[in-house]
Amino acid sequence: MGDTTKGSHDVFVGSIDQGTTSTRFLIFNRDGEPVASHQIEFKQIYPQSGWHEHDPLEIITSVEQCIEGAVKDFETQGHSSAKIKAVGITNQRETTVVWDYETGEPLYNAIVWTDTRTQALIRKIKLRLGADRLQELCGLPLSTYPSVGKLLWLLENVPKVKEAYEKGNLAFGTIDAWLVYRLNGATKKNVFVSDPTNASRTCFMNLRTLDYDDQLIDFFRLDSSKLRLPKIVQSSHPEVYGKLESGVLKGVPITGCLGDQSAALVGQKGFTPGLAKNTYGTGCFLLYNVGDQPVFSTHGLLGTVAYDFGKGKRMYALEGSIAVAGSSVKFLVDNFGFVESSNKISELASTVEDNGGCVFVTAFSGLFAPYWIDDARGTIYGITAYTQRGHLARATLEATCFQTQAILSAMEKDSGHKLAELAVDGGMSNSDLCMQTQSDLIQIPVIRPKMRETTALGAAIAAGLAVGVWDSIDELKDINVEGRTVFKPQMEEAKSKEMFGRWEKAVQMSKGWSS
Ligand SMILES: Nc1ncnc2c1ncn2[C@@H]1O[C@H](COP(=O)(O)OP(=O)(O)O)[C@@H](O)[C@H]1O
Ligand SMILES: O=P(O)(O)OC[C@H](O)CO
């Protein structure tokens, strides 16, 4: 930690937010306000129904361009880039990248967390002896969602990947590990690390020890002497993530790293057990801080790491993961031209009073928490000659709210605690209609901060804490508190229950389509 940083107000922290549909770089001041930013959408590759890939090199380019764009904006405002003391990384989780450790080149496209090509493979693995004990070790239910299935598919189907593995040259990583590796100059420095919030999404990490577990690796019939896994290091650290090797911020240290949902919890300052946040991005993810010991769900949720800021500052979370949220809105826009952009969907939904009897189970990747139905696919119920586009727009927004309602009910059963309020963020939370519907359905207040880049803020906090931009989390308490919007329940509880009953019926009916 440099003395010039400690206590000084004229310092800034950069944050790389590498999401499922776009990459951003934001520069935050010490008050947690974004002063400059740049965002780039990159290509979504869908080679077949159910497959979803990204180009790992395009992701790197998008990060480099975002850094350049935001720094330019920052300098235009009269700031010097020398004031940027550190950079944090936050990223889409589970998405799997494999590369050749000798050359640093990717061996296949990244397989995205939403991808369902591993459905049959996972079903076979579920039959193995010991499959029912996995969740007690790694916190995750066996499904198409974690990285492990994607890696096993690559080993079975891509000869180059298998060859590299046999030679002991196969590097496997989630997006955080890939970014850190490449931003450090790849083979030049070979910085090959991942933080526990990301590593906990692979199925290889033991949730109690925060290290790889041979029981898990053996169960998946992988040879740890052949597979190169990134070293698991804490989420906020002054040294372990290296430095930016090139570009306008060359030499600036990377000092924070968090999976995007953990970063959002940190950005919402969910540091105390009992606090929860729900992020409505491409998917939607509810994280509930359970304290410094892991909780293993028995009601369809995931046990995961909230953040690891070092000894005595490590927290766990229960998570409810919804595969499709904002992506369903994008689907109506891109595939059917319902409106010209996602931010117009509420307008369309407001042209009608209710869903007109329609329920849309947006199971494009099967249904995740708390249902885990891998063979469900997107299905709309209740269409009649009366149905208008507005009804479908409303049913689309409601689908994420219903799944959140189901997750909260599971969370109450797992934790024995009823949530008093829900902090929200992410692209889809911009819809007032959606947030009001959410509050109506869950019957508690929904709190939306004024500054919604909480994911990027969380990574900036992790990075800033490591270099003394902030000395402790107590110093963060006033950040992003002013100007919040509170959505209070306006619907009768009986009506909310009735609507949820119809949703649950639709979920049951959606089973089995892709079996
Ligand atoms: N006003 C809005 N109403 C509803 N959905 C929206 C709105 N604005 C953005 N979205 C949705 O939010 C998603 C983008 O949110 P974001 O938090 O940037 O996601 P990610 O981090 O996953 O890339 C898109 O899928 C988009 O359809
Ligand atoms: O891109 P998002 O914000 O929907 O987040 C993706 C998640 O990290 C997947 O687990």
Give the Å distances, CA to CA, from 120 to 198, 420, 514: 25, 40, 11
Shortest-distance ligand to the CA of residue 42: 1
Which residues neighbour 495 within 8 Å (Cβ) at sequence distance 6 or greater?
Answer: none
Tens-digit pLDDT profile for residues 299-325: 999 999 999 998 789 999 999 999 999
∠ CA 405-408-413, nearest 5°, is 130
Distance between CA atoms of 53 and 476, rounded to whole angstroms? 37
Whether 6 contacts 447, CB under 8 Å: no
Beta carbon of 94 within 6 Å of any ligand 2 atom: yes
Rounded to 5°, the CA angle 45-49-52 comes to 30
Q: How far apart are CA 111 and CA 476, in angstroms?
A: 36
Residues 214-265 pLDDT 10s: 999 999 999 999 999 999 999 999 999 999 999 999 999 999 999 999 999 9
Q: Report helix, strand or coil for 255.
A: strand
Mean pLDDT of the region 384-396: 98
Atom of ligand 2 nearest to the CA of 201: 10
pLDDT of residue 8: 61
b/e per residue 49-78 (b: at least 16 CB within 10 A): ebebbbebebbbebbbbbbebbbebbeeee
Question: 360 alpha carbon to ligand 1 midpoint, in Å?
Answer: 18
Q: Which numbered ligand comes closest to the C-alpha of 427?
A: 1
Going from the Cα of 51 to the center of ligand 2, the distance in angstroms, rounded, reads: 16
Strands (E), 314-417: 314-322, 359-361, 379-381
In this prediction, residue 449 has a pLDDT band, given cuts at 50, 70 and 90, of: very high
pLDDT tens, position by position, 463-477 = 999 999 999 999 999
Measured CA distances, 276 to 139, 273, 411 (Å): 18, 9, 11
| Amino acid letter, residue 168 | G
At 365 the pLDDT is 87
Q: How far is the CA of 282 from the centre of ligand 1 (A)?
A: 6
Tell me: pLDDT of 6 over 70. no
With tokens 């930013």, the residue in question is 37
Tell me if 62 CB under 6 Å of ligand 1: no
The residue ranges of DSSP E strands in 187-253, in sequence order, are 193-194, 205-206, 211-212, 227-228, 231-232
Q: Please indicate whether residue 92, judged by its CB atom, sits closer than 6 Å to ligand 2.
A: yes
- Crossing angle (nearest 10°) for helices 147-157 and 119-126: 110
Q: Among candidates 108, 112, 95, which has minimal Cα distance to 50?
A: 112
For residue 88 and ligand 2, the question of a CB distance below 6 A is answered with no
Considering every ligand atom, which ligand is closest to the CA of 39? 1
Please give the Cα distance from 270 to 322 (Å, whole number): 20
| Residue 5: predicted pLDDT | 52
State mean pLDDT over 287-293: 95
- Whole-number Å distance, alpha carbon 281 to ligand 1 midpoint, is 5
Answer whether 118 contacts ligand 2 (Cβ < 6 A).
no
pLDDT at 515: 77
Query: Quick one: average pLDDT of 94-110?
Result: 97
Angle made by CA atoms 308, 204, 284, in degrees to the nearest 5: 65
- The CB of 261 under 6 Å from ligand 2? The reply is yes
Q: Average the pLDDT over each of 7-16, 22-31, 392-401 and give the range with the smallest value.
A: 7-16
Element holding 416 (H helix, E strand): none
| Average pLDDT value for residue range 351-380 | 95
Is this complex's ipTM strictly greater than 0.85? yes
Between 342 and 311, whose confidence is greater? 342
Best of 261, 322, 457 for a ligand 2 pocket test (most atoms within 8 Å of beta carbon): 261
Beta bridge partners of 205: 212
β-partners of residue 304 are 317
480 lines ligand 1 (CB under 6 A): no
Is residue 435 lining ligand 1, measured as CB closer than 6 Å?
Answer: no
Instruction: For residue 476, give the nearest of 467, 466, 465 by alpha carbon.
Output: 465
Sign of CA dihedral 367, 305, 418, 431: negative
CA distance 447 to 486: 5
How many Cβ atoms from other residues are within 10 Å of residue 433's Cβ?
18
CB distance 146 to 201 below 8 Å = yes
Rounded (10°) CA dihedral 63, 65, 71, 77: -130
**Average confidence (pLDDT) over 433-444:** 98
| pLDDT at 2 (0 to 100) | 40
Query: How much is the average pLDDT of 353-375?
Result: 95
The pLDDT of residue 417 is: 87
Say how far apart CA 66 and CA 16 lie, in whole Å. 8
Helix (H) or strand (E) holding 36: strand 34-41
pTM for the full predicted model: 0.95
Longest Cα–Cα distance in the chain: 70
Comparing 108-112, 239-243, 509-513, the range with the smallest average pLDDT is 509-513
Task: Say if strands 12-18 and 22-29 run parallel, antiparallel, or are unpaired.
Answer: antiparallel
Compute the distance between CA of residue 87 and CA of residue 77 in angstroms, rounded to an integer. Answer: 20
Ligand located closest to 112 CA: 2
Mean pLDDT score of the chain: 95
Please give the span between the terminal C-alpha atoms of the chain, in angstroms, as a whole number: 55
Residue closest to 106 by CA, chosen among 144, 61, 40, 76: 61
3-class DSSP state for residue 402? helix
pLDDT at 331: 95
Q: Does residue 282 have its Cβ closer than 6 Å to ligand 2?
A: yes
Q: Which residue among 282, 322, 436 has the greatest number of ligand 1 atoms within 8 angstroms of its CB, and so is best to mutate? A: 282
514 pLDDT band, cuts 50/70/90, is confident
* pLDDT higher than 60, residue 1: no
- pLDDT value at residue 464: 97
Cα–chain-centroid distance for residue 318? 14
Whether residue 38 is predicted with pLDDT greater than 50 in this model: the reply is: yes
User: How far, in Å, is the centroid of ligand 2 from the Cα of 284?
Assistant: 7
* Separation of alpha carbons 292 and 295, rounded Å: 9
pLDDT, tens digit (0-9, with 9 covering 90-100), for 164-180? 999 999 999 999 999 99
199 pocket-lining for ligand 1 (C-beta < 6 Å)? no
Nearest to 375 by CA among 503, 508, 202, 286: 508
CB contact at 8 A, 294 and 287: no
Distance of alpha carbon 18 from alpha carbon 66, whole angstroms: 10
Percent of the chain with pLDDT over 90: 95
Residue minimizing CA distance to atom 5 of ligand 2: 92
Q: Ligand 1 in contact with 282 (CB < 6 A)?
A: yes
152 is written with which tokens?
Answer: 């096993």
The predicted-structure confidence for 63-93, as pLDDT tens digits, reads as follows: 999 999 999 999 999 999 999 999 999 999 9
Report whether residue 452 contacts ligand 2, using a CB cutoff of 6 Å: no
Summarize the confidence of residues 484-492 as an average pLDDT. Answer: 97
